[in-house]
Amino acid sequence: MATARRRKIVAGNWKMNKTVPEALALVRDLRAQVASLGDTVEVVVAPPFVALQPLHVALEGAPLALAGQNCHWESSGAFTGEISAPMLAELGCAYVIVGHSERRQLFGDTDAQVNKRAKAVRAAGMTPIICVGETLAEREADQTLAVVERQVRGALEGFEAKDVASFVLAYEPVWAIGTGRNATAAQAQEVHAAIRGLVERLYDGETAGRVRIQYGGSVKADNAAELLGQPDVDGALVGGASLKAGDFAAIVKAAT
Ligand code: PEP
């Protein structure tokens, strides 16, 4: 596998939290706290859809990228309540999270739908952050690598190496999300290395060396440095701890 220097990427998934005024206050604070870090680490925030436009305006020129939390695979049409990838691109999103476990578990997202969403994101000129991860029952049944492999294969179906090299994959064990129980650094590294190995088998060493793989699941200021210090952990996808500027900034600092 080609050795590549991958720029770390730390993304905050705010889920269904923060009103527009609260969102503006949070990024103002965050911007000030990460200003001194330069471009050593890429920082992304994924607010609720309604906050994207105001944040796009407020963040002009700031080293903070915007992400959508999901999108539909069609560009427009009779899909009440849905948001399309071109709409997110127009609001300044550089990334869109697809396949988050809450989408899979609560809204029935399948691997095939995650693939269609990722294709729409790519077609709209953005980068998907593709989430995968096993449940506790799957881990206890020793199915972790098989589940994650199935999810990664499904999400990447039909993509070429040049696409995948620029993608972000996020390994998020479901049992670690919002539970305060993070994977150990060794558990995370094992799965990340397996995912990178799979990308090498599906594509080539160059692509595997370039694709970035985030860890997500109860990342906090006090465990971030160890998780992010693993050779195949290229960043973090952060839920709860991204809702306070100081907590999120501490994780970003741990990535530098
Ligand atoms: C997430 O929802 O992607 C996540 C990782 O949440 P938390 O950090 O709260 O576990």
Per-residue H/E/C for the chain: CCCCCCCEEEEEECCCCCCHHHHHHHHHHHHHHHHHHCCCEEEEEECCHHHHHHHHHHCCCCCEEEEECCCECCCCCCCCCCCEHHHHHHCCEEEEEECCHHHHHHHCCCHHHHHHHHHHHHHCCCEEEEEECCCHHHHHCCCHHHHHHHHHHHHHCCCCHHHHCCCEEEECCHHHCCCCCCCCHHHHHHHHHHHHHHHHHHCCHHHHHHCEEEEECCCCHHHHHHHHCCCCCCEEEECHHHCCHHHHHHHHHHCC
- 69-90, pLDDT tens digit by residue? 999 999 999 999 999 999 999 9
Which of the residues in the chain have pLDDT under 70? 1-4
Probe ligand 1: pick from 9, 10, 13, max atoms within 8 Å of CB?
Answer: 13
For residue 211, tell me if it sits in a domain.
yes
Residues touching ligand 1 (Cβ under 6 Å) are: 13, 172, 177-178, 216-219, 237-241
Specify the pLDDT at position 35.
Answer: 87
Specify the pLDDT at position 5.
Answer: 83
Q: How far is the C-alpha of 64 from the C-alpha of 58, rounded, in Å?
A: 10
For residue 4, tell me if it sits in a domain.
no
Q: Is the dihedral of CA 54, 57, 58, 62 positive or negative?
A: positive
**Residue ranges making up the domain that contains 133:** 9-254
Specify the pLDDT at position 48.
Answer: 98
Alpha carbon of 158 to ligand 1 centroid (Å): 28
Total structural domains within the chain = 1
Alpha carbon of 101 to ligand 1 centroid (Å): 10
For residue 3, tell me if it sits in a domain.
no
Question: Which CATH number do you get for residue 138?
Answer: 3.20.20.70
Residues near 33 by Cβ (< 8 Å), separated by ≥ 6? 245, 246, 249
Amino acid making up residue 226: E
For residue 220, tell me if it sits in a domain.
yes
Closest ligand 1 atom number to CA of residue 241 = 8
Alpha carbon of 211 to ligand 1 centroid (Å): 21
Specify the pLDDT at position 2.
Answer: 55
Specify the pLDDT at position 39.
Answer: 82
Probe ligand 1: pick from 102, 104, 172, max atoms within 8 Å of CB?
Answer: 172
Specify the pLDDT at position 3.
Answer: 56
For residue 1, tell me if it sits in a domain.
no
**Active-site annotation holder among 72, 100, 134, 149:** 100
Specify the pLDDT at position 223.
Answer: 97
Residue that has been written with the tokens 């009440």 in this structure: 80
